[in-house]
Amino acid sequence: MNDLYDHIEYVICAGEDVSPEELHTGTRKAKVLFARQMIMYFADEFAIGTYEMIASRYEQDHATFSHTKKVINNYIDTDKFKRGKIAYYRGVLCGVQRVSRKIDALLAMFNILDKELAGLEQRYLNLQILVENLKTELIELK
């Protein structure tokens, strides 16, 4: 998918003390299930991919993903502790997204500078050749 998805997975796994490998086991342990649900929920919130793409990452189908959204929304409405966790992760991930966008913008500027530098290097080489040709002509004129 993309780097943001990997960041979401990393942040949630670190916060919930779940390894990324556990997410793909299909286990229904509460902490792994909650982590997987939050990752899918935030992947949708940050518009990373379609339901099918997000769910397939954990060998789930789009119906499971739809259920996940309902479960997380229910936690937000009814469970103060989980609502706090979800709000915390949302804040962290919004920060990650802002930083990621800034990095992408800087990388784009570096790419532009690299192209301009390559053009300047070529012009410099062309000028060196021209100077050498002029030196040769000057010697021939003497």
Q: Among 5-14, 53-62, 90-99, 104-113, which stretch is predicted with the lowest mean pLDDT?
A: 53-62
Q: How many C-beta neighbours within 10 Å does residue 130 have?
A: 10
> What is residue 43's predicted lDDT score, i.e. its pLDDT?
87
What's the predicted TM-score (pTM) here? Answer: 0.68
3-45 pLDDT, tens digit per residue, is 788 889 999 999 999 998 888 887 788 899 999 999 989 988 8
Mean per-residue pLDDT for 51-76? 82
| Domains of the chain, earliest start first | 3-101 (1.10.1750.10)
Packing angle, helices 62-78 and 30-45, rounded to 10: 100
% of the chain with per-residue pLDDT over 90: 44
